Structure 1
Amino acid sequence: MLKTSKYLYFIFLFLINAVSWLIVHLAVSKLIGNMEVRNINRLSILFKTYPFERKGQLWNDVFKIKRWKAHIPESTSIMPDSFDQSRMKDTDLKTVSQFIDETNRAELTHWASILPVPLFFIWNPKYTRGIHLSYALLSNMPFIIAQRYNRPRLRRMYRLKCRNENRHKKEHDDYEKEN
């Protein structure tokens, strides 16, 4: 009888934790998904590319991100209203800017999804703390790494497009003056 009740306790605990993690992920995604971009971008220190990242190249050197980033699930598969980052359909300034903003949103979402780990310590045995921390990190870090890899590349694209548009505008203005 003791083994059965222990077995049922672990099943119950597993189900409670699985449902709780699902609620955390969905709630954080919905909360940050509804935030205005300007509020997200106020956390610019989080989204800054630091020199040690070598314009995002560190993430490919260490984690070989080019090999696996295409296999990361897209948020639109569970939240249809979210921004589809799977491929850039256009490369105009507005679209590139929106992609940069959405990498910020995605990274913030995944960092925020790690933060509730201590809540799981309340009702779980102490020996499961490492399991919950590992789950939170392993389920979110690939997404964070992907954003940190993509954002510098998108920013570089944005700067180049701005320069090109300014050059074309100047050429157009010069042509207009001559004619």
Structure 2
Amino acid sequence: MTFLDVLGIIALCAALWAVFHLIAGYVAQRLPLDWLVGWPIIGASYAWERGGRCYEWLGIRVWKDHLPEAGGLLRNGFSKRRLASAEPDYLDRFARETSRAEFGHWLTWALALTFFLWTPAWMGLFMVVYGGLVNVPFILIQRYNRARLRRFIARSVRRSARAD
């Protein structure tokens, strides 16, 4: 295999990753939000996440805002870059949209398995590891934000109930 062959494969892999992200984003955007939220792994926050606090030891508060956010790029998309409102319906939608984003990143990572169909096994493995390194931070951000939003919503509901 020549150097140009290797460069060609690298260029093709890079292009495929871009396509995978677009496909996953498109598919995630088209799936019903209620269906995505119902998935146990994607739609739920678990006790071991401690309301998102378990991700803080990774320094997530420091680096999460430095990664790109593409939720608002697609038609009818939902940007999760910043909170636009403190209204309960908006906060609930934001929390639910984190499930859509998380699903999109899991799907992108899963598409890495297609590399095994046409590349040597070592390269397929490399692409799966690369896919994890690229997508896991975004998955963690979605899980962190969803847990924090759910915690905030629950606290707001308790305050409102006490005020009544």
Task: Identify whether the pair has TM-score above 0.5, normalized to the shorter chain.
Answer: yes
SS of the residue 1:116 aligns to? helix
Amino acid at match of 2:123: T
**Is 2:92 the counterpart of 1:97?**
yes
| One-letter amino acid of the counterpart of residue 146, structure 1 | I
* Identical pairs, percent: 29
Hey, what does 2:146 align to over in structure 1? 151
How many matched pairs? 164
For the residue of structure 1 that corresponds to 2:2, the secondary structure is helix
Take 2:106 and 2:158, find their aligned partners in 1: how far apart are those partners? 33
| Cα distance change, pair 77–152 in 1 and its aligned pair in 2 (3 A) | closer
Equivalent residue in structure 2 for 1:48, among 44, 48, 55: 44
Structure 2: stretches of 5+ with no match in the other structure: none
Structure 1 residue aligned with 2:2: 6
Question: Relative to 1, partners in 2 of residues 1:167 and 1:54: Cα closer, same or farther, differing over 3 Å?
Answer: closer
SS at match of 2:89: helix
Whether 1:70 aligns to 2:77 is no
Match of 2:27 in 1: 31
The 3 A distance-change label for structure 1 pair 140 and 23 is same
Q: Deviation of residue 80 (structure 1)? A: 6.1
State the TM-score, normalized to the length of structure 1. 0.83
CA contact (8 A) 2:72 2:79 kept: no
Q: Structure 1 residues 124 and 57 mapped into 2: Cα distance closer, same or farther (>3 Å)?
A: same
Flag the 1:132–1:123 CA change in 2: closer, same or farther, 3 A: same
Partner of 2:110: 115
2: CA distance, partners of 1:37 / 1:92: 19
